[in-house]
Chains A and B, each alone.
Chain A
Amino acid sequence: MTLEQFVPFLPEIVLATAGFIVLLLGIPLGRGGVRQLSIFGVASLMVTGVLVWLFGRPADGPALILGDMLVIDNFAVFFKLLFLAAGAVAIFMAAGFLERFGYGGGEYVSLILFATVGMFVMASGASLASLYVGLELMALSVYVLVGYFKLEIKSNEGAVKYFVLGAASSAILLYGISLVYGSLGTLDLQQIRDSLTSVPTSNPMLVLGMVLVCFGMLFKVAAVPFHVWTPDAYEGAPTPVTAFISVAPKAAAFAMFMRLFFGAFASGIDHWRVVLWVASAATMIYGNVAALTQDNVKRMLAYSSIAHGGYVLMGLVAFNQTGAWAILMYILVYAFMNFGAFGFVILLESKGYAGEVIGDYAGLARRHPGAALGMLVFMLALAGIPPTAGFMGKLYIFSAAIEGGYVLLTVIAVIMSAVSLYYYFRIVVQMYLYEGDEEGAEPAEYLRDRWAEVMIAICIVITMLIGVWPAPVVGWAKTAASALGVM
């Protein structure tokens, strides 16, 4: 094992080191210096990005490195860049928020960085072992992040629930892995894939293992019935964290999901497809319908992100090339629009969780037209109304499902996406159709914060840009997905 072998692993190493440094810097700084730490963190993320671009990309086709623990391919690159962006946005959006609530930045930033490392491994893991540890790294960091506002009961409570359920589910996942290992005798995805083509996939233990692994993944992507942790964790977590976990870990989970089920377990598709079908349909219906009556914006967005998970699952059910890249596309789009939406929640939220209730948005269009317009864009995007990116995302997912021939599922999906409009527009109604001076309405004040606003602006631009000119992104997504080599 020579040193050169570690070159492609450089990004992870750098990130981890940076995380450690931030941690150390954070201790003396205490509650101050959030901004500096954030800048440092983001800088490290950028450096990592450069490294990924330089060394992370495969010269010729996917390459297994470091004892076949990791694979270097465009798929991984796509996700890694996404994670980096998400991390950066999460850090910058948080800065003002942390200051407002009086929490230190050191642990926060470092945890984001470590979580990113974990997600890197999840995205590029080539062995169940590495995937698992990556998953855990990510998960543990996120548990802590969710509970980061340790003096807020809700924060702690969210963390507790997330933690307990997460641990249980990862045990299930492990159990599944153990079964798979038991019946195939290997942890390496490549070998699993090869042997699956030879070994009859009818072996119930093997299939059961896959299904249990599937359960574990479904938990991570917050699919019904494993979604239960989501609303509470999202609502309880500090909003920037909510934004982060609603995007990055979910994306990472899907990356791992695809690695496993488009890659290793591909030939078992006919066994677990039904599970995914049911989960997908249930998730879409549950998420959307349950969101209808939520009055807490964070919680509503939590349910909405459950629902979006359901849409993405359609891509897995479809199990075709289109599905593969449609998922990537969707995740990308979803990342930005969701971040944007949460960005406004952050800006409206002051101590005591004010600004979380829908009523707090009343008359926003009057007081801050720009903000209202931005929020409108994200709501439209989330509801999948063109010409926003949200529509493009949905379009390809649905297209994939139709190509797969899952018309019923698609019909459910489209109906539900129509329904979703209702609750997204409850916010729009507050912003535009109410004046904010009705009796009983005390709209939350909009707390200006340059950094967050810049981040939001970027999200808006990207959301609209992809909506109007998706061609390049589609191109990347396609190349990335082709690395999985689905059929």
Chain B
Amino acid sequence: MIGATHYVALSLVLMCIGLVGVMVRRNFITVLMSLELMFNAVNINLIAFSFRLGDLAGQVLAIFVITVAAAEAAIGLGLIITLVRLKDTVALEEADEMGG
């Protein structure tokens, strides 16, 4: 019988993939995609739980998450555009003016 546990495990895997993606990719766009993966992972969790608990709050929250994710995507892409304008690159780690 497939329980919440399976879903949670899956979402955890997705989460980690997303996290690793954020860390290893140089291309800002792909990094953004990885972020989306992480949000999806969360959503899987929420849905699984809401189903298990027979409670809709989870789903509602998931909707918010999706929306927010969309908004973040928009801003992120905007940032990419400026980055490209200023430095003519989409390589995230080349934004390293500051540090230390």
A adjacent to B, CB under 8 Å: yes
Q: Which residues of A contact B (CB under 8 A)?
A: 128-129, 132-133, 136, 140, 143-144, 147, 150-151, 153-154, 156-161, 163-164, 167-168, 171, 174-175, 177-179, 181-182, 185-187, 231-232, 235-236, 299
Which residue of chain B has the shortest Cβ distance to A232 in the bound complex?
A: B98
Q: Within the complex, what minimum Cβ distance (angstroms) separates A92 from chain B?
A: 26
Which residue of chain A has the shortest Cβ distance to B96 in the bound complex?
A: A157
Is there an interface contact between B61 and A177, defined as CB atoms closer than 8 Å? yes
List 16 other contacts, CB 8 Å, given A182-B48, A182-B49, A182-B53. A140-B71, A140-B72, A156-B83, A160-B79, A164-B22, A164-B31, A167-B38, A168-B19, A171-B39, A175-B41, A178-B46, A181-B61, A182-B52, A185-B53, A235-B98, A299-B98
Is there an interface contact between A178 and B92, defined as CB atoms closer than 8 Å? no
Number of interface residues of B (CB under 8 A): 45
- Chain B binding surface, main DSSP class: helix
15 A-B residue pairs with Cβ-Cβ distance under 8 Å, sorted by A, are: A129-B64, A140-B72, A153-B86, A154-B98, A163-B72, A164-B76, A168-B35, A174-B39, A175-B38, A175-B45, A178-B11, A178-B46, A179-B45, A186-B57, A299-B98
Task: Return chain A residues, CB-CB under 8 Å to B8.
Answer: 182
Q: Is B17 an interface residue when CB atoms closer than 8 A count as contact?
A: no
Is there an interface contact between B76 and A158, defined as CB atoms closer than 8 Å? no
Q: Within the complex, what minimum Cβ distance (angstroms) separates A133 from chain B?
A: 6
Q: A129-B57, A132-B64, A182-B45 are in contact. Are A156 and B92 (CB under 8 A)?
A: no
Pick the contact of B75: A143, A168, A235 (CB < 8 A).
Answer: A143
Task: Return chain B residues, CB-CB under 8 Å to A235.
Answer: 98
Is there an interface contact between A163 and B45, defined as CB atoms closer than 8 Å? no
Pick the contact of B46: A161, A168, A181 (CB < 8 A).
Answer: A181
Q: Within the complex, what minimum Cβ distance (angstroms) separates B40 from chain A?
A: 10
Task: Return chain B residues, CB-CB under 8 Å to A143.
Answer: 75, 79
Q: Is B95 an interface residue when CB atoms closer than 8 A count as contact?
A: yes
Q: Within the complex, what minimum Cβ distance (angstroms) separates B68 from chain A?
A: 5
Q: A136-B71, A140-B71, A158-B98 are in contact. Are A151 and B79 (CB under 8 A)?
A: no
Q: A153-B86, A168-B38 are in contact. Are A182 and B4 (CB under 8 A)?
A: yes
Cα distance A168–B28 in the bound complex, in angstroms: 13
Is there an interface contact between A181 and B75, defined as CB atoms closer than 8 Å? no
Q: Most chain-B CB neighbours within 10 Å: which of A150, A159, A175?
A: A175
Task: Return chain B residues, CB-CB under 8 Å to A187.
Answer: 57, 61
Instruction: Mark each residue of chain B from 53 to 83: 1 if its CB lies under 8 Å from any CB of chain A, else 0.
Output: 1010110110011001001100110010011
Is there an interface contact between B68 and A129, defined as CB atoms closer than 8 Å? no
Task: Return chain A residues, CB-CB under 8 Å to B64.
Answer: 129, 132-133
Instruction: Mark each residue of chain B from 12 to 35: 1 if its CB lies under 8 Å from any CB of chain A, else 0.
Output: 000100110010000010010001
Is there an interface contact between B57 and A181, defined as CB atoms closer than 8 Å? yes
Is there an interface contact between A154 and B97, defined as CB atoms closer than 8 Å? yes
Is there an interface contact between A163 and B76, defined as CB atoms closer than 8 Å? yes
Q: Within the complex, what minimum Cβ distance (angstroms) separates B1 from chain A?
A: 17
Is there an interface contact between A140 and B75, defined as CB atoms closer than 8 Å? yes
